[in-house]
Amino acid sequence: MISFGSVITSWEQRANEGNLESHYDSRIVATFNPGTPKFKPQKNYTYFYENIGTNSKPAVLHEGYVAPESNQVVVGDAITKEIIASYQLPVNLRNAVHGTTMSPDGKFVYIVGPREPGSDGNPDPGGSQTMLKVDALTLQPVKQVTIGGRLHHGQIFQEKYLLLDVFARDPDGLGLMLYDPETDHVISGIKDIDLGGMVYTAWTDKTHIYALMEPAGYGPGRATGGRGAGNLRRGALVAMRPFWVAKIDPGNWEVIKEYPLPGYRGTWAVIDSGNEFIYIAMSGSSGLTKLNIQTGEIVWTRGTGGGPFGITLSADESEIWVASKGENMGEFGRTISVLDTETGEFLATLFAAYEMDHVLLSPNGKEMWATSNGEGRILVYDSETRELTKVIDMPQNGDAHGLVWVHYNEGGVPQVVRDQGGFHGNINPAQNKPLEY
């Protein structure tokens, strides 16, 4: 029998040594007229943005449900929790949506795009994967940029760049990358082969990058972790090789530490405000791990609801909320698990919606917002009482992915104050700096 202790003691670094920096020559392949504003933001006010797709689950929605024909960018009032406006992209710009990303200044939304256009203006089956840059007021695209992969998740990095991870890499594509929203070009990144496995998602403590890594060989390319976890659920596999976290210094693109994980397929990571612990949802083994960043010690590992995905800490960091999505087991998860961060003790199971995906503490520190891919809804909970206080239906119940909050100050200048990577703009409820609204 192989114990996890023996995995730790025998661990050999998977990543290559030294500087692993690679580049991808991104290109702006189309520009668009941004149109006219769909709403006029108020000064000293906060809004939320949500990207939605076309892949909700008709079986769990109302009879006769018809999905949207294309992706949409949605903006809402963070206080009243009402949708203000949305815009449906042209059908030829449609693709599978994962995540909502915004430039630090809150002026542009980024959403997955199709492959680059061919001579007829339609997606070229052999072309590169692209990302769409969308005006945050008109909600219409302004640019289409190749990034060498299909956008999965993105978050603000060091208050000026975007840290992106991608699906479906092009042959010369990167596993993760830094993107400059000022120039709309990929700056640099790392290829999977140099990390010794496949990148699933990437996270940051604002200084380093943490890549959740998957062993190759259980499925084609980037699909290895998901295919392996699915086969494990079905009994086609009884065990898999270890998954791990790679800690990367983006200054010299060197892997400075690797952390083997006690479970399968890390999907989401949260780092506490003191940069002492990292929490990782393990979707393939339905668990949550707390890991000491300095020592690599596994503080605890506990079970969660089936196939966990997104996780978030409460304002005082005493609780961690886990969206039980049902990842790699049909995506019919319908609960949120709440655990004690000190002990890992299971505190509560909250009834939610089908295919819970992302869950984020709001910038006021008082609410937990969770997105349902299956039902195309955002669920809002009181973070103290854990009571469901609001359900926000997306237009046509398009599948909801990611959340970003933008605050307009007294001068009417916007800034992102919360995205999936953390809080921004001197806002952080864990440091007694909530955004009051």
Instruction: Kindly state whether residue 6 falls inside one of the protein's structural domains.
Output: no
- The helices-and-strands tally (H runs, E runs) of the chain is 3, 31
Do the Cβ atoms of 142 and 135 come closer than 8 Å?
Answer: yes
Instruction: Provide the number of structural domains found in the chain.
Output: 1
Question: Model's pTM, two decimal places?
Answer: 0.97
Instruction: Kindly state whether residue 338 falls inside one of the protein's structural domains.
Output: yes
Do the Cβ atoms of 134 and 108 come closer than 8 Å?
Answer: yes
Instruction: Kindly state whether residue 437 falls inside one of the protein's structural domains.
Output: no
Q: Mention every residue, 6+ apart, whose C-beta is less than 8 A from residue 385.
A: none
- Both tokens of residue 21? 């920096």
Q: At 58, give phi and psi (nearest 5°).
A: -55, -30
How far separated are the first and last CA of the chain, in Å rounded?
A: 55
Instruction: Kindly state whether residue 436 falls inside one of the protein's structural domains.
Output: no
- Strands in 346-351's sheet, in edge-to-edge order, are 308-313, 319-324, 335-340, 346-351
Instruction: Kindly state whether residue 286 falls inside one of the protein's structural domains.
Output: yes
> Which residue range forms the structural domain that includes residue 182?
14-431
Q: What is the pLDDT along the chain (437 residues), one digit of tens a residue?
A: 678 989 999 999 999 999 999 999 999 999 999 999 999 999 999 999 999 999 999 989 988 899 999 999 999 999 999 999 999 999 999 999 999 999 999 999 999 999 999 988 889 999 999 999 999 999 999 999 999 999 999 999 999 999 999 998 999 999 999 999 999 999 999 999 999 999 999 999 999 999 999 999 999 988 999 999 999 999 999 999 999 999 999 999 999 999 999 999 999 999 999 999 999 999 999 999 999 999 999 999 999 999 999 999 999 999 999 999 999 999 999 999 999 999 999 999 999 999 999 999 999 999 999 999 999 999 999 999 999 999 999 999 999 999 999 999 999 999 999 999 999 999 999 999 999 99
Q: Tell me, what CATH number does 24's domain have?
A: 2.130.10.10
Paired strand residues for 337: 322, 349
Instruction: Kindly state whether residue 80 falls inside one of the protein's structural domains.
Output: yes
The region that residue 332 occupies, defined by phi over 0 for left and psi between -120 and 50 for alpha, beta otherwise, is alpha
Distance, CA of 159 to CA of 355 (rounded, Å) = 31
234: part of which helix (H) or strand (E)? helix 224-234
